[in-house]
Structure 1
C-alpha cells in the first residue's frame, strides 16, 4: 500500500518498529495533497512549516524511546468549522471572510496534546447547512471517486482528503448526517457519537442533534481518534462525565441480534444501495450474528415534520444571526443557505416538535429491546452532482437516511462502506446502537470490516 493510504493504526505500528518516520509519512501526504488538490479542492489551508516541526519532534520521541501520545506523529486534518484561536474561522461564507476565532474547540486541543501532526483544514458548505460542499468562498469540492459528484457534506472536505490520501485522519461534525454522508460517498468510516459524548462549543454543544466526531480509513482508526476527543470538558456542562472507550478490535458476533431496515419506513432506496445493504446483512450472518429484517414507521415526511421545528429553534436563528435581517448581507449567502434558513423559519412550534421527537423515538426504543444494533443504508441514492444547488431542502433531506438518528441524537452511529455503485461512488450503511452504547457499534463495525474485506484492501482507494 502507498504511504498516503496507510491507516493510522498501521502507521503507528510502523513508527514503533522504526521502519517509518512521522516525517516520511507527512511528506507522503503533503505530496499527495499537492497532486490531488487542483482537482479535488478539499483543503482550505495548510500549515506545512508547523507540521514539519511537529513531525520532527515526534520522530525524535520515537527515536529516543520516550513516551508518546495516542496520535503521535499521525497526519490529521481538521474540519474548518472547529475553530482555533488566532486563526481564521470563515464557515465557508463570504460574510465571514477573514474572521479570526477567539477560542479553540476542545477537540483540537485534545488532538494536538495526543501528538497528532495537524497539517491543514478541510472545506465545508456555508455554515455546514448542506449535504454537498461548494461555496462562493472556497469553490467546489469534488469526490475523488468521481469528480463530477460531491463528496457529500457538511464534512465533505474531510471525507475527500481521506479518500484521496491527502491525510491519515480527519475530524467532522454531524447535525443531520454531516459525518455519515461524506463517509458513505467517499468510502471511508465515520462516527456520529451520541449527544454529549464529545464536548463542544456553544450553542451546538447543547443541541441534541449535533456532535463532533472522527473520520478515518478503518474502524480501528476511528476508534483511536474517538477515544482521544471524547470525555468531559470543564467548558461544556452538557459533556458526559462517563468515559466510554471504544475499540476496533475484531471479535465474534455470535449471540448478537442485529436488525436490518432497508427503507426506514418509506425512503425511496436505489436498488444498488438496497443490494449492497443486503450484502452487509449476509456478511453479518457470516460473522455469526442473528440478522432479522424489520420495519420502522418513519419515512422522510415524518422525519422532516419532526425535525424542522428543531432546526427552526437552533440552526436557523444561528444562521440568521450573521445577517441581522440586512437584505444585502442575506443576498451574500449561498442559495442553499437561504433556502435552509427559510424552511427552518417555517418549521413550526418547538414544544410540539419536542413532543414529536419523543414519539419518534419510541418505536426505535421498543425495537432495540430485542436487538443489539440496527443496520440501514446511509443514503438512499448513489450520488449527488458536485454542484447540486440543494435549494429544495425537503427533496434533498428525503434522500438522506441519516437525519432520523439526529432526531434521536443520543444513539451512537458508525458509518461504514457497503460497496460501490456503477457510477464509481461508494455506498454505505449505518450501524446504530442503543442510547449511549458506543462499544457495540464498533464491535459490529470491526467484524463487518473484516468479513467484507472491502476498504481494508489496498485496491479499494480511488486512483487519481
Structure 2
C-alpha cells in the first residue's frame, strides 16, 4: 500500500470517506514509507505508531457508523517539535527539553485533531526554531531529499521533508522569519505564512505580537486549503486572532483558480537584497510567465529598506521573552545563536524598542499603500539555493557578507513585518536539480485570494510535480 503515500491529501480524505481505503491502511503505508526513507533524511524524530493505530481504528469506526467527519478525517500528520503534544515527547530541539512530555496539546494540535487528523509523531526543527537549517543536539540534522548532502532549510524543515517524500500527506509548522517559506522552497512543496492572526497559536507568551505565526505546508495548494479549513479561525486566548472561520478556504477547493487577466503584479528579482546567481537565473522566467497568464507585470517593490534593523530588534525581544529565564539558569546548554539572540535582546534600550515599533508601524503603512496599487508581489522565496548541511548558515551572498544567522533570509523576514499573507510556491530547478521557489505576497488579509492566485500558477507551472528520486525512496 506504499503508493497511497503518493496521493494528494484531498484524494486520500475522499478515499477514506468513500471507504476506498481505511485510515488504518493509510497509516500503515505512511509508517512503511517512514521506515524506508526516514533513516537517511531524519525528518520524523518521534514516532507513536501504537497511539496512531488506535486513533486510525477510531477513525475507521466513525466512518462505518456514518458519523459527521472533519476535513482531515483519517489523515496521518506529524507535528513540528516546537508544538506541545499531550503525552508525546516535545523536545524543542533542545537537550533541556529532551525528555519533556507535555500534559496539554497546543492549539494547532487541538484543531488538527478535531478535524480528524491522526497524529503519527513529531518533525525535526532547529533548537527553539532558531535558524533556517534544521539540526539540533537531540536528533541531529535533517537532510534535503533532492540531495541529502544539503540542508532542507528550516525551521519547519522536518515537516517539509516528510511532505516531499510522502511520509505524511499534511504537516503543520510555524514562521517568524521564513520558517514555513524557506523549507518549502528548498524541498519543492507549498508553504503559507498566513496573515497575522489568521492561525492563532497557544500557548503563547506574546499573544498580541504579529511576528510569529502558526501555519501549514502541503504538496499542493488544494492540500494546503484543506488543512487551512481546520487551522484558521479565532481563539479568545489570542487577542489579534481574526474573526473569520476556516470555512472560507473551502472556496479554494470548490471554485476555479483565479482568472489572472488584468491582475496587477509587482515583480522584484531581489527586493534590493543580494541574491545568488543560481536563484536569479532559475526565476528569470517568472515575470514573462505571469504576463502570459494575463497579469500586468511591473518591476516594482515596496520600500522595506529599514526592515532588517526592525526585525532584529523585535526578534531579539521575542527570544529574550521565550528563552531569557533558561539563559539565566542553564545558558551553557543553549545553542550559541539562541544565547546571542537573548543577549542582543537585553542590550537594546527602551528607546531602541520604541524606534523599532514606530518603524514597524511606518513599514506596515507603506506596505498597505503599495498594495493599493498591486494585487500581488512576486519575488524569490529564498536568496540562495540549498547549501551543505554542515554549514550553519551562508556567511556570504553574491559577494555581500551576512553578519548574522538571520541576515541571509531577509527575502522572507522583511515580508514578515508587513503582516501580509505570503506563499512559497514551487517554480523551477537549477541545472543541478535543486528546487527554487517563488514567493507570492498578497494584500493584508487576502489569504484566500492569494491561494487562488497560487493555484492558477501551480496549474501553469507544475514544478511541484517533480518529486525527489534519491535511492532510499
CA distance in 2, matches of 1:343, 1:448: 41
Q: CA deviation at 1:395?
A: 4.3
Q: Within 5 A, what are the aligned runs for 1:250-399?
A: 250-265=257-272, 267-298=273-304, 302-324=306-328, 326=329, 329-346=330-347, 349-390=352-393, 394-399=403-408
Which residue of the partner structure matches residue 449 of structure 2? 440
Residues 113 and 366 of structure 1, relative CA distance in 2, 3 Å threshold = same
1:49 corresponds to 2:59: no
Q: Please provide the CA RMSD for this pair.
A: 2.1
Counterpart contact for 1:415–1:428, Cα < 8 Å: yes
Equivalent position SS for 1:147: strand
Summarize deviations over 1:107-137 as a string: whole Å, max 9, x none.
2111111111111111110111111111111
CA distance in 2, matches of 1:6, 1:151: 22
Q: CA deviation at 1:396?
A: 3.7
Which residue of the partner structure matches residue 416 of structure 1? 425
1:116 corresponds to 2:117: yes
Summarize deviations over 1:191-210 as a string: whole Å, max 9, x none.
11111111212214322111
Equivalent position SS for 2:183: helix
* Aligned positions, number: 455
Summarize deviations over 1:55-76 as a string: whole Å, max 9, x none.
2232333345432111011111
Residues 462 and 337 of structure 1, relative CA distance in 2, 3 Å threshold = farther
CA distance in 2, matches of 1:319, 1:137: 18
Which residue of the partner structure matches residue 407 of structure 1? 417
Q: CA deviation at 1:323?
A: 2.3
Equivalent position SS for 2:112: helix
Counterpart contact for 2:327–2:342, Cα < 8 Å: no
Which residue of the partner structure matches residue 133 of structure 1? 134
Residues 85 and 62 of structure 1, relative CA distance in 2, 3 Å threshold = closer
Q: CA deviation at 1:262?
A: 1.3
Q: CA deviation at 1:91?
A: 0.8
Q: CA deviation at 1:212?
A: 0.2
Question: Structure 1 regions of 5+ residues with no counterpart?
Answer: none
Q: Within 5 A, what are the aligned runs for 1:171-250?
A: 171-201=172-202, 202-243=204-245, 245-246=248-249, 247-248=252-253, 249=255, 250=257
Q: CA deviation at 1:22?
A: 2.0
Equivalent position SS for 1:380: coil
Question: Taking structure 2 as the reference length, what is the TM-score of the superposition?
Answer: 0.90
Counterpart contact for 1:163–1:462, Cα < 8 Å: no
CA distance in 2, matches of 1:60, 1:116: 14
Question: Taking structure 1 as the reference length, what is the TM-score of the superposition?
Answer: 0.92
